[in-house]
Amino acid sequence: MIEIRFHGRGGQGSVIASKILAKAFFMEGKYVSAFPYFGVERRGAPVTAFTRVDNQPVRAKYQIYEPDYVIVLDPSLLKAVNVLKGIKKDGTVLINTIHSPDEIRKTVKFDRVATVDATSIAISHRLGSQAAPIVNTAILGAFAKVSGLVKIETVMDAIREAAPAKQEENAQAAKDAYENVKIGGE
Amino acid sequence: MKKILTGNESAAWGARLSKAKVVAAYPITPQTSIIETIASFIANGEMDARYIRVESEHSAMAACIAAENTGVRTFTATSAHGLALMHEVLMWASGARLPIVMSVVNRAMAPPWSVWTDQLDTMAERDVGWMQVYSENNQEVLDSIIMSYRIGERHHILLPSMVIEDAFILSHTAEAVDIPEQKKVDDFIGEFEPAFKLDPDEPAGFGSLIMPEGPYMEFRYKMALAMEDAKREIEKAVEEYNETFGRNYAPFVDEYRTEDADAIMLVLGTIGSTAKDVVDAMRKEGKKVGVARVRYFRPFPTEEIRRIAKSTNMLGVVDRSYSFGPGADLYAETKSVLYSHTDVPVKDYVIGLGGRDVTPEVLRKLFDDMLKIANEGVVDKEIEWVGLHGDERWS
């Protein structure tokens, strides 16, 4: 079983990202489950969402405490919440930031860190506004590259089906992130 | 066709496939996305139904009662305080023998405010004459709604049903759900043929005053018989549904590795799903445990629970609610039906109230405790609250 935790802020689409990723895995024949931290979400407040993936039906009906992957949609969260909490030793953190993995590891003390400037990618595809770009689809493309668990084409198809608007722009943003993500700590 | 759906979207699909013609509802977290999804089905022309916006849950149920009385299939959904506000009219719906189907998303009762899962809301409505079926995944939510219409609408049953799901753990969790073909659902449920209805051409009064010497008692007796008869209809419906749609439901109690088990956990809802993983892990270590997930709480599966209890050395009842009587509801009723039938030790574990997460680690500790009791034959404590702050035993 692969367990993935998303950290974002209310309004950034973390919960939707967790569902689109589940959909992509499902399209590749996996069993999935995607859910928010059972909170009362407010715009701008920290939000957590989860995706479980397995080769057999997912019967686990509890939260994820020891994720294999952590995906951070908003770099300002690095100061607000402990994104590394419970992460498996051989896990990977993927962060939306302008910084390189080596730079970010000065503050995020972890072996495997990947970074991608999903904010610029989202803005270049006119997803959301300059002030509040929607980065949730771009970061999924980066995840496809970093994890190697799901094909970028499948992620793009899942985005095209699930995005409420600008389906192709969202899919292309994922592709850009796939091609530009920087992986450190190998 | 499989889609990734939340529990609430699955419930909405259940109502849509069942072709409910009137939906009256009032929003309440965590139920709201059920009626939002239905509202969009209707607005998009995907569901041919009248959506009635009302000012409270009491009115929502009253509107469903009135509509059902005219001979149409109705649906609503609620949670916690909304269900409590319906209490009075829930009894009208069942007493008037109207087979309404309602989704209930289990949520804790305030204060303190909590929107998270806890089964007190539905347990507090156990005596109102509604059937109650609890789900462990989103597929079961959708399928149970379809089956509930079929079962409740039989003319010798005519009882309403609550199809129940855990807040957030199902309601807001997305999984792959198989959406049955409309034609097959139509054939399975059939057209709604009311046994009686409001008709201007044949005026009749419903729910009139009955003097003490009148047939009030006989009305209640017939309801009691109908609730018992529902068991046979549930068995038939589940068997036919499994065959038609390729499912594998047990009618009343979903038993997992209970054969030869030294200790069996009896539980309602999603804890039963997580517990299956724990059972597999412990079986690999040679620990013979099993889980029996109760689907129907009304009608109560008396015979099944007696059989299960007699087959093992210890029964651990897990309650995600507490009633301020002799233990929580599943425990108290289980003890009641076992009395004079078996002396197997029974213990109540009260757990996960207000949505507190129930992890495999804590369930493993419960199973270990149960095996200890099975071995020693002595129940240390009849009712144990698990994981209270400051109690290190379960953490």
ipTM: 0.94
Q: What is the mean pLDDT of chain A?
A: 94
Q: Which of A31, A33, A40 sits opposite B173 (nearest CB)?
A: A33
- Which tens digits make up the pLDDT trace of A121-149? 999 999 999 888 999 999 999 999 999 99
B74/B35 Cα distance (integer angstroms):
13
Delimit the domains of chain A by residue range. Answer: 2-183
Compute the nearest-CA separation of A38 from chain B (Å): 6
Strands A182-183 and A113-116, how do they pair?
antiparallel
The whole-number average pLDDT for the span B41-54 is 98
A83/A165 Cα distance (integer angstroms):
30
Compute the nearest-CA separation of A151 from chain B (Å): 19
Q: What order do you get walking across the sheet with A31-36 strand by strand?
A: A182-183, A113-116, A92-96, A69-72, A2-9, A46-54, A31-36, B174-178, B2-6
Q: Do B172 and A35 touch (CB under 8 A)?
A: yes
In the Cβ-directed half-sphere of B68, how many Cα atoms lie within 13 Å?
31
pLDDT at A40 > cutoff 90: no
Residue that has been written with the tokens 């001979």 in this structure: B71
Q: Confidence band (pLDDT; 50, 70, 90) for A21?
A: very high
Q: Which of A31, A60, A62 sits opposite B176 (nearest CB)?
A: A31
**B9 at A interface, C-beta within 8 A:** no
pLDDT at B44 > cutoff 80: yes
Burial class (CB in 10 A: 0-12, 13-18, 19+), B297: buried
A35/A24 Cα distance (integer angstroms):
15
Spell out the residues 6+ positions from residue B228 whose beta carbon is closer than 8 angstroms to its own. B299
Delimit the domains of chain B by residue range. Answer: 2-245, 253-394
Question: At A34, phi and psi to the nearest 5?
Answer: -135, 135
Q: Do A22 and B174 touch (CB under 8 A)?
A: yes
Compute the nearest-CA separation of A128 from chain B (Å): 24
**Which pLDDT score is estimated for B149?**
98
Compute the nearest-CA separation of B243 from chain A (Å): 21
Query: Are B202 and B273 spatial neighbours (Cβ–Cβ below 8 Å)?
Result: no
B370/B390 Cα distance (integer angstroms):
22
Query: Are B245 and B184 spatial neighbours (Cβ–Cβ below 8 Å)?
Result: yes
The whole-number average pLDDT for the span B84-89 is 98
CATH number for the domain whose boundaries are B2-245: 3.40.50.970
Q: Do A19 and B174 touch (CB under 8 A)?
A: yes
CATH number for the domain whose boundaries are B253-394: 3.40.50.920
- Which tens digits make up the pLDDT trace of B13-34? 999 999 999 999 999 999 999 9
Spell out the residues 6+ positions from residue B226 whose beta carbon is closer than 8 angstroms to its own. B97, B156, B157, B158, B159
Q: What radius of gyration, in Å, describes the C-alpha atoms of chain A?
A: 15
The whole-number average pLDDT for the span A72-81 is 94
CB atoms closer than 10 angstroms to residue B135:
28
CB atoms closer than 10 angstroms to residue B281:
15
Residues of A in contact with B358 (CB under 8 A): 61-62
- Which tens digits make up the pLDDT trace of A148-173? 999 999 999 999 999 989 999 999 99
Q: Which of B174, B359, B360 sits opposite A35 (nearest CB)?
A: B174
Q: Do B168 and A35 touch (CB under 8 A)?
A: yes
**B395 at A interface, C-beta within 8 A:** no
Q: Confidence band (pLDDT; 50, 70, 90) for A185?
A: low
What does chain A come to in residues?
Answer: 186
Q: Do B360 and A38 touch (CB under 8 A)?
A: no
Q: List A128's β-bridge partners, or say none.
A: A133
* Host H or E run for residue B310: helix B302-310
Q: Which of B4, B116, B273 sits opposite A59 (nearest CB)?
A: B273
pLDDT at A98 > cutoff 80: yes
- Which tens digits make up the pLDDT trace of A58-75? 999 999 999 999 999 999
Helix, strand, coil fractions of chain A, as percent rounded to 5: 35, 25, 40
Q: Do B355 and A38 touch (CB under 8 A)?
A: yes
**Alpha-carbon distance values, B129 to A131, B66, B88, B171, B295 (Å):** 55, 18, 12, 25, 17
Mutation target among B1, B3, B4, B28 for the A interface, most CBs of A within 10 A? B4
The whole-number average pLDDT for the span B305-311 is 98
Smallest CA–CA distance from A56 into chain B, residue: B277
Compute the nearest-CA separation of B195 from chain A (Å): 41
Residues of A in contact with B173 (CB under 8 A): 33-35, 61
Residue that has been written with the tokens 């109502």 in this structure: B15
Q: Do A62 and B172 touch (CB under 8 A)?
A: no
Yes or no: domain A2-183 corresponds to CATH 3.40.50.1820: no
Mutation target among A23, A61, A154 for the B interface, most CBs of B within 10 A? A61
How would DSSP label each residue in B83-109? HHHHHHHHHHHHHTT---EEEEEE-PP
Q: Do A61 and B166 touch (CB under 8 A)?
A: yes
Residues of B in contact with A40 (CB under 8 A): 29, 115
Query: Are B360 and B279 spatial neighbours (Cβ–Cβ below 8 Å)?
Result: no
CB atoms closer than 10 angstroms to residue A129:
10
Q: Do A35 and B276 touch (CB under 8 A)?
A: no
B89/B99 Cα distance (integer angstroms):
13
Compute the nearest-CA separation of A67 from chain B (Å): 15
Q: Confidence band (pLDDT; 50, 70, 90) for B298?
A: very high
Whether the domain at B2-245 and the domain at B253-394 fall into the same CATH topology: yes
Coil, helix or strand for A129? coil
Spell out the residues 6+ positions from residue B65 whose beta carbon is closer than 8 angstroms to its own. B89, B92, B93, B96, B98, B100
Q: Confidence band (pLDDT; 50, 70, 90) for A186?
A: low
Q: Which of B29, B276, B355 sits opposite A59 (nearest CB)?
A: B276
* Host H or E run for residue B7: helix B7-17
Spell out the residues 6+ positions from residue B289 whose beta carbon is closer than 8 angstroms to its own. B257, B261, B262, B263, B264, B265, B278, B279, B282, B283, B367, B370, B371
How would DSSP label each residue in B336-371? HHHTTT----EEEEE--GGG----HHHHHHHHHHHH
How many contacts (CB atoms, under 8 Å) link A and B?
64
**B135 at A interface, C-beta within 8 A:** no
Question: At B377, phi and psi to the nearest 5?
Answer: 75, 15
Crossing angle of helices A14-27 and A152-162, rounded to 10°? 120
Question: At B296, phi and psi to the nearest 5?
Answer: -95, 120
**Which pLDDT score is estimated for B245?**
98
Q: Do B277 and A60 touch (CB under 8 A)?
A: yes
**B176 at A interface, C-beta within 8 A:** yes
Q: Do B167 and A63 touch (CB under 8 A)?
A: no
- Which tens digits make up the pLDDT trace of B91-146? 999 999 999 999 999 999 999 999 999 999 999 999 999 999 999 999 999 999 99
Compute the nearest-CA separation of A113 from chain B (Å): 28
Residues of B in contact with A58 (CB under 8 A): 175
- Which tens digits make up the pLDDT trace of B192-223? 999 999 999 999 888 889 999 999 999 999 99
Q: List B178's β-bridge partners, or say none.
A: B2
How would DSSP label each residue in B228-286? HHHHHHHHHHHHHHHHHHT----SSEEEES-TT-SEEEEE-TTHHHHHHHHHHHHHHTT
Compute the nearest-CA separation of A94 from chain B (Å): 23
Compute the nearest-CA separation of A20 from chain B (Å): 9
